């Protein structure tokens, strides 16, 4: 059955549905406590949502609950979106289900995420490629176009999430104020959202089912530095949607010129290309991972590069902890994901050199749980929430 925005047009429907989406599986009584709607109203709305296919009943007994009762759960395939991340060189795409998970058809379906290498393209060219990728994904998953209720694209740079405008991105070189969401909506004819890639990643990490954090800070270090902060489930955006960004905070006023035009930003000492350039003063290496190989790491010059990297990264953590006082910091980046000892070294350096005694055990430092896919998952969830939000307003 094809669902429409009218299916959840009332505010009460939206309240009940949202309660289930964020707290599944959940009883009708618990929904009553959250929404303050009467039990009969909750039951009536739930019956309608079950009929429409948004939610389903599950037996509480199978979930380890003492007395048998029916709980309400999200039908994960009721609303599917496409989440995409483009970092100026690679486009990743996947179908995201209503539970914020990468969708696959069956247990043998291993092609969860499509990856396409593309660079130096215009917004118009990217939109055409995105449209083609959506068709390939839906064909592979045996879905019809009307099964997709939204498209989200995570991009680097200053992104106006509300207006759907790429204000500026040094990585993309598109100029200023590109109305990308409207352009994408015109091509795909569906709900479209765009957001900064790191804020999208933070959104995915914070909304994990097993995650309990009031203030979450996320740090991404790779061929660029990004950060984001979520307070009580809300992304801290600021005036230009760049709140929490520390990559272009000045680290060394006498340092190197940064791509942003400033001097001595943290980014100049932590990005992968800087590490490679430093290593090439001593060895003919091509990839940043080579610095961390045992046969290379035994060299004094490699040890110094790694020690400086660890110290600067720990200082970056201290910077964002001092500004936002989070209870959890999540670290992302290929080096962090692929070199376990590096993550441990950074955590130890932070705690031994930067953290005050009161923070030694209060602050949790974690790695991402999504293996580099958190931006496309987060933006896919935002696309589904855009659908529900527009539906609630009768749009």
The predicted pLDDT at position 254 comes to: 85
Domains of the chain: 5-74 (1.10.10.10), 80-203+374-392 (3.30.420.40), 209-367 (3.30.420.40)
pLDDT digits (tens, 9 = 90+) for 184-206: 999 999 889 999 999 999 888 88
Rg, the chain, Cα only: 23
Angle value at C-alpha 22, between 17 and 28, nearest 5 degrees: 55
pLDDT-derived band at 107 (thresholds 50, 70, 90) equals very low
Mean pLDDT of 212-230: 87
The predicted pLDDT at position 271 comes to: 87
How confident is the prediction for the chain on average, in pLDDT? 85
In the predicted model, is pLDDT for residue 386 greater than 60?
yes
Q: Which of 6-20, 283-297, 311-325 has the lowest mean pLDDT?
A: 6-20
Strand (E) or helix (H) holding 314: helix 300-324
CA 187 – CA 307 distance, rounded (Å)? 49
For the chain, percent of residues with pLDDT exceeding 70: 89
CA 218 – CA 268 distance, rounded (Å)? 19
Q: Which of 278-292, 348-362, 374-388 has the lowest mean pLDDT?
A: 348-362
pLDDT digits (tens, 9 = 90+) for 140-158: 767 776 778 899 999 988 8
pLDDT digits (tens, 9 = 90+) for 123-141: 999 999 999 999 888 887 6
The predicted pLDDT at position 106 comes to: 47
pLDDT digits (tens, 9 = 90+) for 19-35: 888 888 999 999 999 98
Q: Are strands 148-155 and 215-221 parallel, antiparallel or unpaired?
A: unpaired
In the predicted model, is pLDDT for residue 60 greater than 80?
no
pLDDT digits (tens, 9 = 90+) for 314-356: 999 998 898 899 999 999 988 998 898 999 999 999 999 988 7
Give the CA count within 13 Å in the CB-facing half-sphere of 133.
28
CA 375 – CA 153 distance, rounded (Å)? 9
3-class secondary-structure state, position 331: strand
In the predicted model, is pLDDT for residue 109 greater than 70?
no
Biggest CA-to-CA distance, the chain: 74
User: Whole-prediction pTM value?
Assistant: 0.82
> 348-354 contacts: CB < 8 A, separation 24 or more?
349/310, 349/311, 349/313, 349/314, 350/314, 350/317, 350/318, 353/311, 353/314, 354/314, 354/315, 354/317, 354/318
């Amino acid at each position: 059955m094809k669902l429409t925005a009218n299916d959840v047009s009332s505010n009460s429907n939206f309240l009940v549905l949202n309660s289930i989406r964020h707290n599944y599986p959940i009883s009708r009584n618990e929904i009553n406590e959250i929404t303050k709607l009467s039990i009969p109203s909750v039951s009536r709305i739930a019956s309608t949502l079950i009929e429409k296919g948004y939610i389903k009943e599950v037996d509480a007994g199978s979930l380890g609950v003492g007395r048998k009762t029916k709980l309400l759960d999200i039908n994960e395939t009721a609303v599917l979106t496409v989440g995409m991340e483009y970092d100026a060189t690679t486009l990743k795409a996947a179908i995201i289900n209503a539970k914020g998970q990468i969708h696959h058809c069956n247990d043998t379906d291993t092609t969860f995420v499509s990856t396409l290498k593309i660079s130096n393209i215009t917004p118009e060219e990217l939109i055409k490629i995105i449209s083609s990728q959506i068709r390939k994904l839906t064909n592979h998953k045996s879905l019809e176009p009307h099964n997709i209720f939204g498209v989200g694209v995570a991009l680097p740079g200053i992104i106006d999430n509300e207006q759907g405008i790429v204000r500026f991105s040094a990585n993309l070189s598109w100029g200023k104020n590109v109305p990308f969401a409207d352009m994408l909506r015109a091509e795909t004819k569906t709900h479209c959202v765009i957001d900064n890639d790191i804020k999208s990643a933070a959104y995915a990490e914070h909304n994990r089912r097993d995650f309990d954090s009031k203030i979450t800070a996320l740090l991404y270090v790779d061929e660029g530095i990004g950060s984001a902060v979520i307070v009580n489930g809300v992304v801290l955006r600021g005036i230009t949607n760049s709140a929490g960004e520390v990559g272009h905070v000045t680290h060394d006023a006498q340092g190197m010129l940064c791509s942003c035009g400033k001097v001595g930003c943290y980014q100049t000492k932590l990005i992968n290309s800087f590490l490679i350039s430093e290593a090439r003063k001593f060895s003919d290496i091509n990839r940043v991972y080579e610095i961390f190989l045992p046969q290379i790491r035994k060299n004094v010059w490699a040890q110094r590069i790694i020690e400086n990297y660890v110290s600067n990264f720990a200082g970056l953590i201290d910077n964002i902890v001092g500004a936002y006082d989070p209870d959890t910091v999540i670290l992302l980046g290929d080096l962090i994901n692929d070199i376990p000892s590096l993550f441990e070294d950074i955590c130890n350096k932070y705690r031994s050199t930067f953290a005050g005694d009161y923070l030694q055990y209060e602050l949790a430092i974690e790695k991402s749980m999504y293996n580099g896919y958190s931006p496309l998952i987060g933006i896919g969830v935002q696309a589904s929430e855009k659908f529900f939000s527009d539906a609630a307003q009768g749009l």
